[in-house]
Structure formats: C-alpha cells, structure tokens
Amino acid sequence: MFACLLHHRDTTRLIESSCIIKMCIFVIALLVFLFATFSYRRKISMEKFV
C-alpha cells in the first residue's frame, strides 16, 4: 500500500494518482468502519442501561 508512495518517482502520474485514490478509499473505509463500530458499541451500552 505504502510502496506506491515510496516509488512514486519511478512511476507515471497516472499510476501515482491511482495510488492516491486507493489511499483515499482506504482511509475513508477505515473511518466508516470506526464510526460504525463506535455507534454499534454506543447502541449496546444504551440498551444495557434501559
């Protein structure tokens, strides 16, 4: 994943941009996963108090 950023000097701009897009997708997916996990845990904790 990070190899793209390390070898960006040897690649063309097309490959570099696609690598940046992959990194953005990975970060967005990670944020969505963390948000879903947080909301799920909060939901469970609320159900315990009720």
In sequence order, what are the residues at sequence separation of 6 or more whose Cβ sits closer than 8 angstroms to the Cβ of residue 8? 16, 19
* pLDDT digit string, tens, across residues 1-50: 456 555 555 656 666 678 788 889 999 999 999 999 999 888 888 877 66
* Residue of 33, 24, 34, 35 whose CA lies nearest to 1: 24
pLDDT, residue 34, reads: 95
Token pair recorded at residue 36: 């879903």
DSSP helix/strand/coil, 7: coil
pLDDT, residue 5, reads: 54
pLDDT, residue 6, reads: 57
